[in-house]
Structure 1
């Protein structure tokens, strides 16, 4: 067990090397953040203009609709740009020189699968929120268990969308679940490793934001707050890129038995032993 987790951390180290070789990949998650932020800003403006803010907190139907729209927005844009990153990673592993334009074109070709995935995620997320809201402890427990199971089952959804070129949800889930079963230890530990890598930067950013808001004033507060925001954004972008590079490399090994990216210069027996 411990061997699997230490090998998963090696995957993160190799993913950092891939990111350093392709720093422009950071543009893709940055675009995702900007578009998601813009979408929520527009939605907030519409809600304020039409006086819907109070209804969101008092009318269940409007609350659930708002949750569905929010989940659909974040899921669709997140999946779209993650597909772009994964395509670039696949291209790099195959010896190519990926560009942001290549990734965006690949994501656009997969738009039907991305849309299907976003609608499914938004629907399930809304249903789980309703269960949590209406059934108290039992609903919360069911939501927790299902969220965990769903996260593991869908771990490789984005690489599957890139490779399989299908919008069939059953195929996507089957392939993702099969790949996760083959590399579950490395997959979980790689995700934890990514979190540990970006956590210091995120904490620094949060500290600067809190300090700017609570303890500073004037231009100094704006400067410190701006630096804090940059740190948080940089941590999110780094986590997105490293996570997708690691998942793409793991998916290649699980499905094609190929050592690429984080595994290219390592002995396969030391990364994925047979036993």
Structure 2
């Protein structure tokens, strides 16, 4: 277990080195975040104006919820595909541009939309299970299924980018790759999320403390301090998203081709991803 954790941490560090060598990759999650905010605003305005959820969810609310998930997932998956495609070019020693990533994602648009529809359906179902109206056991099951879904689909984007297949086959291959890379997949997912979760919490704690102190001097100063720290938290989220995309690309390459990109030379991780016999 310790050896597997060590391999996963080496992959994370190497992925961070790749990101430092090509900071342009950060633009993909940045633009993705801006687009998701636009989608959110597009839905929130009519939802509040028409009071769609005033009397509960209902059929209309379920339809709106599905459409919201579908649009959000379509945007997120599209930009993730662009990021992973660009990361793969970088891992091959190339110098990717934004256009390279977007062209790769556009070529996979039908599969991306198909997978977004599947993810939206699962998202609505999981939210229904985790609803406060359900008992603790049902909510716990919903949370467990959510974690399983996240792990099982971690390789979907690299599969979609690398292969000319549909969303269902991409899901199947992602699950198959999960069996081969279980430790690295789980530890990498949890490790990156946990690390950035702790960092974000620490930044928010420090920000709240400094904003409180600044309030004693001037409310405007306190607002300025809060804005700076909010921007910092958003930047951390962008960095985490970029790092996760690079990590998934690297993990996919190891699992499928058993080749060691230049950024990962000397790590001796090839034996970790030999196919099971």
Q: C-alpha distance in 1, partners of 2:196/2:145?
A: 27
Report the counterpart of residue 24 of structure 2 in structure 1: 24
Structure 2 residue ranges without an equivalent (≥5)? none
**SS of residue matched to 1:266:** coil
Report the counterpart of residue 114 of structure 1 in structure 2: 112
Structure 1 residue ranges without an equivalent (≥5)? none
Report the counterpart of residue 153 of structure 2 in structure 1: 154
Query: Alpha-carbon deviations, 1:53-101, whole Å to 9, x = none?
Result: 634xx24334433432332232111111110110011111122110111
Alpha carbons 1:154, 1:173 under 8 Å: kept: yes
**SS of residue matched to 2:25:** helix
1:144 shift after superposition: 2.7
Report the counterpart of residue 182 of structure 2 in structure 1: 184
- TM-score, normalised by the number of residues in structure 1: 0.88
Query: Alpha-carbon deviations, 1:113-141, whole Å to 9, x = none?
Result: 11111111111121233344465345324
Report the counterpart of residue 240 of structure 1 in structure 2: 241
Q: C-alpha distance in 2, partners of 1:221/1:197?
A: 28
Query: Alpha-carbon deviations, 1:228-275, whole Å to 9, x = none?
Result: 111111111111111111111111111111112652232246866899
**SS of residue matched to 1:54:** coil
1:163 equivalent to 2:159? Answer: no
1:144 equivalent to 2:143? Answer: yes
Give the number of equivalent residue pairs: 272
Q: C-alpha distance in 2, partners of 1:274/1:178?
A: 11
Alpha carbons 1:5, 1:189 under 8 Å: kept: yes
Q: C-alpha distance in 2, partners of 1:261/1:179?
A: 23
Alpha carbons 2:81, 2:160 under 8 Å: kept: yes
Alpha carbons 2:88, 2:249 under 8 Å: kept: yes
1:209 shift after superposition: 5.7
Distance 1:200 1:268, change over 3 A: closer
Distance 1:208 1:54, change over 3 A: farther
Q: What are the within-5 Å matches in structure 2 for residues 54-69 of structure 1?
A: 54-55=54-55, 58-69=56-67
1:5 shift after superposition: 0.9
Report the counterpart of residue 75 of structure 1 in structure 2: 73
- TM-score, normalised by the number of residues in structure 2: 0.87
Please tell me the root mean square deviation across aligned C-alpha atoms, in Å: 2.6
**SS of residue matched to 2:267:** coil
Report the counterpart of residue 252 of structure 2 in structure 1: 251
Report the counterpart of residue 121 of structure 2 in structure 1: 123
